[in-house]
Chains A and B, each alone.
Chain A
Amino acid sequence: MAAINLLQAVNEALRQEMKRDPRVIVFGEDVGYEGGVFRATVDLQKEFGKDRCMDSPLAESAIVGVGIGMAINGMIPVVEMQFSGFSYPAFNQIISHVARMRNRSRGRYTVPMVIRMPYGGGIRALEHHSESPEAFFAHIPGLKVVMPSTPYDTKGLLAAAIRDEDPVIFLEPKRIYRAFKQEVPEEDYIIPIGKAKVVREGTDITLIAWGAMMRETLKAAELAAEKGIHPEVIDLRTIAPIDRDTVIASVKKTGRAIIVHEAPKTGGIGGELMAIINEKAFLHLEAPPTRVTGFDTPFPLPRGEQHYLPSPERILVKIQEVVNYLT
Chain B
Amino acid sequence: MIFKDYNPLEKKMLQIMDETGTIVKPELMPDLTDDEIKEIYRLMVKTRETDKKALMYQRQGRMLTYAPNLGQEAAQVASAFALEKRDWMVPAFRELGAWLTRGAELEMIYLYWYGNEFGSYVPEDLRILPVSVPIASHLQHAVGIAWAAKLQGKDEVAITYFGDGATSQGDFSESMNWAGVYKAPTVFFCQNNQFAISVPRGIQTAAETIAQKAIAFGMPGIQVDGNDIFAVYAATKEAVDRARRGEGPTLIEAYTYRLGAHTTSDDPTRYRSNDEVEEWSKRDPIDRLKKYLLSKGLLTEEEEAQIVEAYGKLAEEAFKYVEANGETQLEDIFKYHYKEMTPQLVEQMEEYKQFLRERGEI
Interface flag for A4 (CB, 8 Å): no
B111-159 interface with A by 8 A CB criterion: 117-118, 120-122, 124, 129-130, 132, 134, 137-149, 151-152, 154, 156, 158
**Which residues on the A side are within 8 Å of B194 (C-beta)?**
none
A-B contact pairs, 10 of them (CB 8 A): A62-B177, A66-B175, A72-B141, A73-B156, A77-B144, A97-B132, A97-B137, A105-B129, A166-B338, A241-B344
Most buried by A among B137, B140, B154, B342: B140
Q: Are B337 and A65 in contact (CB under 8 A)?
A: no
Chain B residue at minimal CB-CB distance from A167: B338
Task: Tell me whether A61 and B336 are in contact in the complex, defined as CB-CB below 8 angstroms, given that A66-B143, A106-B120 are known contacts.
Answer: no
Interface size class of B (residues with CB under 8 A): 35 or more
Main secondary structure of the interface of B (DSSP, over half): helix
**Which residues on the B side are within 8 Å of A73 (C-beta)?**
88, 144-145, 148-149, 152, 154, 156
Of the candidates B88, B134, B148, B149, the one whose C-beta lies within 8 Å of that of A92 is B134
**Which residues on the A side are within 8 Å of B152 (C-beta)?**
73-75
Q: Are A142 and B338 in contact (CB under 8 A)?
A: yes
| Cα-based distance from A110 to B121 in the complex (angstroms) | 12
Q: Are B141 and A74 in contact (CB under 8 A)?
A: no
Interface flag for B181 (CB, 8 Å): yes
Q: Which residues of B contact A (CB under 8 A)?
A: 88, 90, 117-118, 120-122, 124, 129-130, 132, 134, 137-149, 151-152, 154, 156, 158, 170-171, 174-175, 177-178, 181-182, 332, 336-339, 342-344
Interface flag for A132 (CB, 8 Å): no
Q: Are B178 and A69 in contact (CB under 8 A)?
A: no
Q: Which residues of A contact B (CB under 8 A)?
A: 25, 51, 54, 56-57, 59, 61-62, 64-75, 77, 89, 92-93, 96-97, 99, 101-110, 141-142, 144, 164-166, 194, 241-242, 244
Task: Tell me whether A68 and B339 are in contact in the complex, defined as CB-CB below 8 angstroms, given that A104-B130, A106-B121 are known contacts.
Answer: no
Chain A residue at minimal CB-CB distance from B160: A69
| Cα-based distance from A75 to B152 in the complex (angstroms) | 9
Q: Are A62 and B145 in contact (CB under 8 A)?
A: no
CB distance from B143 to the nearest CB of A (A): 5
**Which residues on the B side are within 8 Å of A110 (C-beta)?**
339
Task: Tell me whether A57 and B181 are in contact in the complex, defined as CB-CB below 8 angstroms, given that A68-B141, A104-B117 are known contacts.
Answer: yes
| Cα-based distance from A59 to B158 in the complex (angstroms) | 21
CB distance from B346 to the nearest CB of A (A): 10
Task: Tell me whether A194 and B342 are in contact in the complex, defined as CB-CB below 8 angstroms, given that A65-B141, A68-B140, A68-B141 are known contacts.
Answer: yes
Chain A residue at minimal CB-CB distance from B135: A92
Q: Are B120 and A65 in contact (CB under 8 A)?
A: no
| Cα-based distance from A144 to B48 in the complex (angstroms) | 43
Of the candidates A56, A66, A166, the one whose C-beta lies within 8 Å of that of B339 is A166
**Which residues on the B side are within 8 Å of A61 (C-beta)?**
137, 140, 170-171, 174
Of the candidates A54, A69, A108, the one whose C-beta lies within 8 Å of that of B121 is A108
CB distance from B77 to the nearest CB of A (A): 24
Chain A residue at minimal CB-CB distance from B177: A57
Q: Are B158 and A69 in contact (CB under 8 A)?
A: yes
| Cα-based distance from A97 to B177 in the complex (angstroms) | 20
**Which residues on the B side are within 8 Å of A89 (C-beta)?**
170
Of the candidates B178, B181, B343, the one whose C-beta lies within 8 Å of that of A244 is B343
Task: Tell me whether A70 and B343 are in contact in the complex, defined as CB-CB below 8 angstroms, given that A102-B337, A102-B338, A106-B117 are known contacts.
Answer: no
**Which residues on the B side are within 8 Å of A142 (C-beta)?**
337-338
**Which residues on the B side are within 8 Å of A77 (C-beta)?**
144
Chain A residue at minimal CB-CB distance from B134: A96
CB distance from A276 to the nearest CB of B (A): 9
| Cα-based distance from A54 to B156 in the complex (angstroms) | 21
CB distance from B113 to the nearest CB of A (A): 14
| Cα-based distance from A284 to B142 in the complex (angstroms) | 53
Q: Are A59 and B177 in contact (CB under 8 A)?
A: yes
| Cα-based distance from A165 to B340 in the complex (angstroms) | 10
Chain B residue at minimal CB-CB distance from A51: B151
Most buried by A among B146, B147, B338: B338
Task: Tell me whether A62 and B121 are in contact in the complex, defined as CB-CB below 8 angstroms, given that A69-B144, A102-B336 are known contacts.
Answer: no
Q: Are B120 and A70 in contact (CB under 8 A)?
A: no
Q: Are B178 and A59 in contact (CB under 8 A)?
A: yes
Q: Are A105 and B181 in contact (CB under 8 A)?
A: no
| Cα-based distance from A241 to B344 in the complex (angstroms) | 7
Q: Are A106 and B118 in contact (CB under 8 A)?
A: yes
Q: Are B336 and A106 in contact (CB under 8 A)?
A: yes
Task: Tell me whether A66 and B137 are in contact in the complex, defined as CB-CB below 8 angstroms, given that A102-B337, A104-B120, A166-B338 are known contacts.
Answer: no
Known: A61-B170, A166-B338. 14 other contacts (CB 8 A): A57-B177, A61-B171, A65-B171, A65-B174, A66-B140, A69-B141, A69-B144, A69-B158, A72-B144, A73-B154, A93-B137, A105-B121, A106-B332, A110-B339
Q: Are A165 and B339 in contact (CB under 8 A)?
A: yes
Q: Are A69 and B148 in contact (CB under 8 A)?
A: yes
**Which residues on the A side are within 8 Å of B175 (C-beta)?**
62, 65-66
Q: Are B148 and A70 in contact (CB under 8 A)?
A: yes
| Cα-based distance from A115 to B187 in the complex (angstroms) | 27
Q: Are A103 and B117 in contact (CB under 8 A)?
A: yes
Chain B residue at minimal CB-CB distance from A194: B342
Chain A residue at minimal CB-CB distance from B123: A108
Chain B residue at minimal CB-CB distance from A101: B130
Task: Tell me whether A69 and B134 are in contact in the complex, defined as CB-CB below 8 angstroms, given that A61-B171, A75-B152, A142-B338 are known contacts.
Answer: no
